[in-house]
A = this chain, B = another copy of it.
Amino acid sequence: MLSWIDGCPATLLSVRDRGLSYGDGLFETIAVSRGVPCLLDRHLARLAEGCARLSMPLDLMLVRAELLAFSNELGDGVAKLMVTRGDGLRGYAPPQPQVPRRLLQGNPKPSYPAANAEQGVRVFACMTRLAEQPLLAGLKHLNRLEQVLARGEWHDAEHAEGLMRDTSGRVIEGVYSNLFLAKDGRLLTPDLTRCGVAGVMRAELQAQAELLGLTCEVRDIGYDELLAADEVFLCNSLYGVWPVRALHGRDWSVGPLTRKLQVIARDLLDS
């Protein structure tokens, strides 16, 4: 399994790393196709935003160069990039100077059932709620216990994803994905300023929808509004778009907007 730390092959890191001690870092999960990282600029933009909000200095040009070299070596698969605040002593105060650590891990492409994209997936309605923390909302940081708890709620293979709501009951995202609704020909996706991960595929689909002349509204969405949607789909940077065909007793058929964006996502990940 391909694994680099700070640009060199390595599989072990210091027990003093603040990524381990505090989850003090960020990550990106990047599809790699024929040696090329997909949606690289969007991944790097989110990483830059995370570093800014966590006050973590990072040489993004170096990260980009390493990602390109790593992807070239990986060929086809998934590159997981983690950036931590590096080693620290006991105590939350960031070390001075900060020396962030860059970790890259290669994984094979997940082999999802073809039916997930074609007929859509069944989604589990998780009881685990996302806490509302605007300071961390949108970031793909290393504090992911809520997702671990949510993913522990179902064990059958029948559900391909779990729906997460926030502690106030708003619909936010999937455990591994973002969520879109279509209603009366318009797109809608939950506001992620209180919690949730602002996915790169979500951002790309928002931009692509605009190019197609589709409006995509970003706002709070209640559970009832989700159930009343004409179409529902999930997206992430590995599988693109999966239609949602069932959620807790409600069934949907795959709709035209979902198919349109699915084709776009597939092209982005194949390029």
Instruction: Using CB atoms and an 8 Å cutoff, list the residues of chain A in contact with chain B.
Output: 3, 5, 10-24, 27, 29, 54-55, 78, 80, 82, 84-85, 89-94, 103, 105, 107, 110, 128-129, 131-133, 135-136, 141-152, 167, 175-176, 195
Contact = CB atoms under 8 A, between A and B. Distances in A.
B128 A135 contact: yes
B148 A92 contact: yes
Q: How many copies does the complex hold?
A: 2
A132 to B, nearest CB: 6
Contacts of A110: 90
A89 B103 contact: no
A93 B152 contact: yes
Given A11-B15, A93-B152, A133 B107 contact: no
Nearest to A17: B20
A192 to B, nearest CB: 14
Given A92-B176, A133-B167, A167-B133, A22 B148 contact: yes
Nearest to A136: B145
Contact of A151 (B14, B93, B143): B93
Given A149-B54, A152-B55, A13 B16 contact: no
